[in-house]
Structure 1
Amino acid sequence: MASPSSRLLLASSALRRLEAAHAGQPLMVRAGEAAARWAENLRIDDARPVLVLAGPGNNGGDAFVCATRLKQADIEVTLVSRADPARLSPDASAARQGWLDAGGAITNDIPANTPDTAGPAWGLIVDGLFGIGLARDLGAPYACWSAEARRLAERDRCPVLALDVPSGLDADTGRAWGGALRATHTLTFLADKPGLHTADGPDLGGEVRVADLGVAPTGDALAPASAHDLPPGRLLAPADFAPWLLPRDKNSHKGRHGNAGILGGAPGMVGAALLAGRAALFLGAGRTLVGIVDPQGPALDPAHPELMLRRGAALLGEPLSALAVGPGLGQSDDARVALAAALALPMPLVLDADALNLIAQDGDLARRTTTRAGATTTIITPHPAEAARLLATTTAAVQADRIAAARDLAARFNAHVALKGCGTVLAHPPGSATADPDGLPTAWAINPSGNPGMSTAGMGDLLTGIVTALLAQGWPPGPAVEAAVHLHGAAADALVAAGTGPVGLTAGETIPAARALLNRWIARRGRPEG
């Protein structure tokens, strides 16, 4: 069912070009048949009927084909649609007629409860209302159908299968329009969609599978048609950075694994710097040095005396291989001066938290960030509010199009960007595009690992430490930030799978889980588990 390029993420514009390039093929029939095959497996009870919701466009055509195939397999189907036959595309019209020819009936509303009956108990609900073309709130009657489908799915404890994307989900951005339908499973066609993996997409789409419909996503369809057209992206996986998952030589010493520096820890926020330092220590830096800004801060980390603590900006005089500035830094004048000095250092630099807030406030710091010497590397890891400050916009605007915001930040600051959140978005400076496993060029990526347990203090500091550790060990910046983001989420997932969290998951306990997982990846060189 999944294509070799199932990790490729295509925007709606590219998908339309791909459809047009294969217009002579029966794509709707293939989509409906693929949906019916999965639907048969998802149905929870052979005695229960399937409810199919068919919309007024080609997504509705897919639903008609799916319903027809299920009926031909002797599965009871109730199909609900108010599509105007005269306004359907030729393919969707043919799919509707095929349903009628198979003896199917069309009802204009979901069977309602009455005083005498609670209505049928459904074995599966299929959402074929709207696909990738919708860019507005669901209107009547579709918003009511969406709400009723959710109520019925909860009542009957049955799955909901969305065709292509859940109705009301923006396929490009992951924005949920009003009345959006919540699915437990999504079968998406031709190629995967970015909106299924960031913002509201993971909540609305559930488990996502790709049906390529026999179409290889290559050629002119993937080339952006204009400067405003979103180029292809990909879903992150260990295979993307496998070339850097190298075992260490037996003849090794700490000097070969770099010196990671962390600058932060203003009064009341020393823990942030220590968390980042501990993460760098656990993730393999040969030495980890932490510059504590708080003049009353500790001279020793009792839990991990391996950390080498320094007084604030004195850290910048050490022979560092990579430096992170920001965890608990504060926004004092001293912090501003230290950040300016760090920006001038010719080494890989990770900027997070208050370092980003200072840059957003100070045009000179912003200019210095953008114009750092060509031999250096800058990585920024903002959360949506920090990204909004850097872009002089609102958090809501960033969240409305996370991919555009990440790409804008990468271009504006000439930096590698990890825009944190549900489905962290990775973007790289212009001219540094990476490739998916099939060699197709990709300009951005979305990380699928992680869980809600990561919505807790200190997780961002942990990510900063992981990135800095990999940079200190000589990883190139693109693979380093991608590996750190994916490892960060995957470690939290491993803890939840073992029964720790998601509620109450902490950054501190995620650090050793990340170390264990990195070593497992190195042993497997990025190959999938199992």
Structure 2
Amino acid sequence: MDTRSPRLPGTSPLLPAALLRRLEAAHAAQPLMARAGEAAARWAEQLRSDSARPVLVLAGPGNNGGDAFVCATRLREADIDVVVVSRADPARLSADAHAARQAFLDGGGAIAADIPVATPWGLIVDGLFGIGLARDLAAPYAAWTATAQAQARRDHCPILALDVPSGLDADTGRAWAGALQATHTLTFLADKPGLHTADGPDLAGAVRIAELGVAATAWAAAASGSPNRAASTADDAHLLPPGRLLAPADFAPWLKPRPKNSHKGRNGEAGILGGAPGMTGAALLAGRAALVLGAGRTFVGCLDPQAPAVDIVHPELMLRRGEALLATPLSALAVGPGLGQDDAARRDLATALGLAVPLVLDADALNLVAREPQLAAQVAARNPGRAPTLLTPHPAEAARLLACDTAAIQADRIAAARTLAARFNAHVALKGCGTVLAHPPGSDGNDPANPDGLPTAWAINPSGNPGMSTAGMGDVLSGIVVALLAQGWPPGPALEAAVHLHGAAADALVAAGTGPVGLTAGETIPAARSLLNRWVGATLPLG
């Protein structure tokens, strides 16, 4: 009998709006709108909270509205009461959307100019705007989204968004004014980055993909231009390349069981540098994470001269002064947890940057790099093959590194992560809702820079929850990353695995009743260990 864990889930491509338009153009001869509307109707039938209540369908002035009209027609054909609200000018609709609207009317449907106030709904379908909207919602649509939101709360009914929730930027996850918060989103052709980062997860709810009969690999051909329009060099220079929605399958090749003939020397020496006065807890959290996640030996160097000589929770940790740590042979080093920004911290960081080991920079290490041009130059000059650099900033730290404000980072998190990776020649995890990972050009041997000079390899991590919004979580992540590096993982997979594992561990705790409110950083460490071992078990061959 096979008693293994389930197979590790696979990754999903994330396509930007410009590439999706090329994909649509390349398959213009196929009935994509009909397929989209039919798929929406099938899910809508399942989602209705009360089968006795009608479904409200909001149909916009573009092809998203055409999808909504097809959905409404199919629901009517299934004897479901439907109220369609639309002010789209038939003369300005595309041919497909016009035909969908007319088919709805020819089938006996009627179109209302405003949302009925008193009708209780079993489901609301948002077909106002899709991937093309990049501005605040105007009248009457902003009023419709506000009314729909209020009525969904009143009626305790779901909201199903078609492709993306109206008002959500499909590329960045930015919510424009008037954006609708859906409980479910059926996205078409392929997944979109904006559904999984920044405001996207809050607005999209549960996401499903309807590929509409287009092969999952078809986007690769569309990336070089559609049959109807050759892509120009100028266009490609600003085209966001496809990304990935991170999953364990991305780093499965490194989820290997340890040989029975093993010893601590085979599992590496991890170092943590930080722990300035008043902040030794940060360094200890990182050290405990590195120890528990499998480093053969873990050394913690604290800058506080009064730091404890032993960690009573984990006496296996080897504690020493910061300068002594830097003289210790290490397999990988993390600098930043509780580091501080005084002269001693700057001196030790400069020394660490000169070491030929994989180096994780977080917290105050990043703040020092942002403040000191000489340190920034040292980071960028590190050899990515012999001494790779990994950066794990939160948005405020990323803003300091890029000399902008946090709002600019959050407005386009993918661009910010890619810019950091290019500027510092580093692997980057821009933390936050939907952590964005970017890798320097050439980091995997066959990944050149985009024509704009930014790296093409990027991903969004879907794991994690609001319980992680508490002190010490970043320190634990640094410890997990350095533990994997010390055990010989390549830098890109190590960073991706650590980010995904940390978030998944927090998800497992919440699912078991711990949090999200009150979840602590330390609690995620043993949970991450358990999950990592389950992932390794899922890769074992049948015995």
3-state SS, counterpart of residue 208 of structure 1: strand
CA–CA separation in structure 2 for the residues paired with 1:393 and 1:433 = 30
Give me the whole-angstrom Cα distance separating, in 1, the residues matched to 2:401 and 2:540. 34
Alignment counterpart, residue 29 of structure 1, candidates 26, 29, 34: 34
Asked if 1:400 is matched to 2:411, the reply is yes
Residue 307 to residue 402, structure 1, CA distance change in 2 (3 Å): same
Conservation of the 8 A alpha-carbon contact between 1:381 and 1:420: yes
Instruction: Determine the C-alpha separation between the residues in 2 that align with 1:329 and 1:526.
Output: 40
1-structure distance, mates of 2:323, 2:247: 37
Find the aligned partners of 1:472 and 1:254 in 2 and give their Cα distance.
11
Unaligned residue ranges in structure 2 (runs of 5+): 1-8, 225-230, 448-454
Alignment correspondent of 2:193 = 194
Deviation at 1:5, TM superposition (A): 8.8
Q: In the alignment, does 2:21 pair up with 1:16?
A: yes
How well do the aligned residues superpose, as a CA RMSD in angstroms?
1.6
**Residues 212 and 352 (structure 1 numbering): CA distance in 2 closer, same or farther, change over 3 Å?**
same
**Alpha carbons of structure 1 residues 478 and 6: separation in structure 2 relative to 1, 3 Å:** closer
The reply to whether residue 73 of structure 1 matches residue 78 of structure 2 is yes
Contact 1:353 1:382 in 2 (8 A): yes
Whether 1:41 and 2:46 are equivalent positions in the alignment is yes
Distance 1:97 1:5, change over 3 A: farther
Identity, in percent, stands at 78
Q: Is residue 429 of structure 1 aligned with residue 440 of structure 2?
A: yes
CA distance in 1 between counterparts of 2:141 and 2:13 reads 30
Q: Is the 8 A contact 1:454 1:505 kept in 2?
A: yes
Q: Deviations over 1:45-93 (max 9, x none)?
A: 2111100000000000000000000000000000000000111010000
Q: 1:497 aligns with which of 496, 511, 536?
A: 511
Residue 218 of structure 1 and its aligned partner are, at CA, apart by 3.3
Deviates more, 1:369-378 or 1:131-140: 369-378
Tell me the distance in 2 between the aligned counterparts of 1:265 and 1:507: 16
User: Is 1:183–2:192 an aligned residue pair?
Assistant: no
List structure 1 runs of 4+ shifted beyond 3 angstroms: 433-436
Displacement of 1:432 in angstroms is: 2.7
Separation of aligned partners in 2, 1:442 and 1:253: 38
The separation in 1 between residues aligned to 2:10 and 2:29, in whole angstroms, is 22
Q: C-alpha displacement at 1:434, in angstroms? A: 9.2
Conserved 8 A contact 2:11-2:249: no
Taking structure 2 as the reference length, the TM-score comes to 0.93
Q: 1:381 aligns with which of 367, 373, 392?
A: 392
The CA deviation string for residues 439-476 of structure 1, in whole angstroms up to 9 with x for no partner, is xx962000000000000000000000000000000000
Superposed, 1:361-372 pairs within 5 Å as 361-372=371-382
Match of 2:288 in 1: 278
Q: Do the aligned residues in 2 keep the contact of 1:433 with 1:443 (CA within 8 Å)?
A: no
Alignment match, 2:213? 214
Q: Which moved more, 1:209-218 or 1:170-179?
A: 209-218
2:6 match: none
Kindly indicate whether residue 111 of structure 2 is the aligned counterpart of residue 106 of structure 1: yes
- 8 Å Cα contact 2:441/2:456 also seen in 1: no
Offset of 1:400 from its aligned partner? 0.1
Is the counterpart of residue 325 in structure 1 residue 330 in structure 2? Answer: no
Which residue in the other structure is 1:299 paired with? 309
Classify the secondary structure of the residue corresponding to 1:226.
Answer: helix
What's the counterpart of residue 115 of structure 1? Answer: none
Alpha-carbon separation, structure 2, partners of 1:280 and 1:372: 23
Superposed CA deviations along residues 375-397 of structure 1, whole A, max 9, x for unmatched, are 11100000000000000111000
| Paired residue secondary structure (1:53) | strand
Whole-angstrom distance in 2 between the partners of 1:503 and 1:19: 43
Task: Find out whether 1:343 has 2:353 as its counterpart.
Answer: yes
TM-score (norm 1): 0.95
Structure 1 residues 103-126: Cα deviation after superposition (integer angstroms, max 9, x where no partner): 0000000002xxxxxx22211000
> Counterpart of 2:236 in 1: which secondary structure?
coil
Paired AA for residue 54 in structure 1 = A
**Matched residue type, 2:44:** A
For 1:162-177, list aligned pairs within 5 A: 162-177=161-176
Measured against aligned partners, the alpha-carbon deviations of 1:330-364 in whole angstroms (never above 9, x if no partner) come to 00111001000000000100000000000001111
Partner of 1:457: 471
Number of residue pairs aligned between Structure 1 and Structure 2: 514
Alpha-carbon spacing, 1:179–1:270, altered in 2? closer, same or farther (3 Å)? same
Letter paired with 1:100: L
Distance 1:130 1:146 in 2: 11
* Superimposed CA distance per residue, residues 190-248 of structure 1 (whole angstroms, 9 cap, x where no aligned partner): 10000000000000000001001111233331248412110000101111100100001
Matched, 1:86 2:96: no
Amino acid at match of 1:300: V
The AA in structure 1 aligned to 2:325 is L
**What is the aligned partner in structure 2 of residue 160 from structure 1?**
159
